Amino acid sequence: MKKIFDSSQPIHPDPKQLEIGLKDLMPADHILLETKATKRHEILSEMADLAVSKGVVSDKDTLLFGLAEREQMISTAQPGGVAFLHTRRRSPNLVKKSSLFLGISKTGIDFESPDGKPTHLFYLLLLQTDEEHLRALSLITRASRQPDFNQSVKNAASAEELVGLLPN
């Protein structure tokens, strides 16, 4: 397994990095409008495949291990059919470029949500620093709590339409 923590990397990012918005982090080609996954481990793998295919992460196995490790602690699913997939620790050596991805399951997947309902929206947060992670998580959770936002995301006809729904 590759070293994923490098103490020579700066702990705090350039403040301009924190000004980046969701539309910058999640372009249309980071969105799967209809995932193939039907099980928990399958959605983790499908999202990791997407991140690797876009050149955002250097090692799928390390990413999958990190995602599974985090999910074993407690599910990242939230009431309302949304999950915020992420590793426990930021990994600047694993993540080449801070990014967000989204996979949509039309039928939903049992992801151990607190409300017991299927999860439909799977946001994968791949950020290089804790500051970026917290900012992106804050922005996307705030958006997902807005009335009708999640339903609009699920019903988007195209990835471009979906990106247009995101706050800056």
Three-state DSSP state, 85 = strand
Map out the domains of the chain as residue ranges. 33-165
Instruction: Classify each residue of 78-95 as buried b or exposed e, where b means 16 or more C-beta atoms within 10 Å of its C-beta.
Output: bebbbbbbbbeebbbebb
Pick from 18, 167, 31: which is nearest to 98 by CA?
18
Q: pLDDT tens for residues 111-139?
A: 999 999 999 999 999 999 889 999 999 99
Contacts of 146 (CB under 8 A, 6+ apart): none
Say which CATH superfamily domain 33-165 falls into. Answer: Mannitol-specific EII; Chain A (3.40.930.10)
The predicted model scores a pTM of 0.87
pLDDT of residue 93: 82
Q: Is the confidence at residue 91, as pLDDT, over 80? A: no
Q: pLDDT tens for residues 23-50?
A: 999 999 999 999 999 999 999 999 999 9
pLDDT of residue 19: 62
